[in-house]
Amino acid sequence: MGNTTGPGSWRVTVLDQQSKRGLEPTHRVPVEPFARRDDLVIGGRTFEITCTDTAGRVRWTHPIPGVPNAAHISSGRVLVTTGSVDYCAWGPLGPAYLLDLADGTLIAELRGERGAALGGGRFVLGLEGYDFFHTWQYDRDGDLTDTWHTYGHYVVGTGVRVVETDRGNPTGSRVVRLRPGGVIERSPLLLTAPQVGRPVVLPDGTVLILDAGVLRAVGRDLTDTVLAELVTVPGGEGHRFTSTLEHTAADRLTAVIREQNPERANKYISHTWTLALHPPQ
């Protein structure tokens, strides 16, 4: 495959490709830190959220009933999402905690799986499943200020974009932009995979998505271009494929697509590509 172009004329070149057979991949265990600032680190372990300075001295701890998995910092507030250690009515989902960054005081206990920090102590928090496909915006006091009927991976910068993950078959997921008053601006692109992995955001705001074996670039204006076709996913078999995309260096991407054996559910083939990333000229 030769060089291909995308929004802003980004290009990729395949440098290497390898495939390896193995058993079901192990899930990553959350590790510290979840978020950091120049003077502090937010992390955690089972039943506890911790805030330390960069020398490792504990500033405060906040007990929780589960496991923290992500933290988002904004203007004196921190939003921490958690998982439950017990399977309950919400599955493995735990509460989301809005805390005072200075001393760990609880501001609000919320419900959501993924979040992102906005300016001024504001956050978006989203949830999919159990009749929910929603994103909520909260202010620094935990008060609800806006709601959108969408959910996915949040990309913050000159507004909020969402790479939707609706789990539908066929999917209705797109890349969208949140507008005030619950308004959603939708891209022309209809994604193929209902559960795309976390996107990579490039310096100019271009979003890279690994969608059912296809590497796509989506610009700030929501237009898209195919950068590389890595794997052909047979129709109706998308559930057998999961993928991750990582920006491993300034000019490198690593794409991994795991293909489940259709007859042995615990066996996989992991396909890994090393890609050179070329900026616009």
Q: What is the pLDDT along the chain (281 residues), one digit of tens a residue?
A: 445 556 668 999 999 999 999 876 655 545 558 899 999 999 999 999 999 999 999 999 999 999 999 999 999 999 999 999 888 777 889 999 999 999 999 999 999 999 999 999 999 999 998 889 999 999 999 999 999 999 999 999 889 999 999 988 889 999 999 999 999 999 999 999 989 999 999 999 999 999 999 999 999 999 999 999 999 888 777 788 899 999 999 999 999 999 998 888 789 999 999 999 999 87
In angstroms, the CA 12 to CA 253 distance is 9
For residues 140-166, b (16+ Cβ closer than 10 Å) or e, as one string?
bebeeebebebbbbbbbeeebbbbbbb
pLDDT per residue over 111-170, tens digit each?
999 999 999 999 999 999 888 999 999 999 999 999 999 999 999 988 999 999 998 888
Which is nearest to 121 in space by CA: 76, 157, 155, 72? 76
Q: Residue 216: which residues within 8 A CB-CB, separation 6 or more?
A: 6, 189, 208, 209, 210, 224, 225, 226, 227
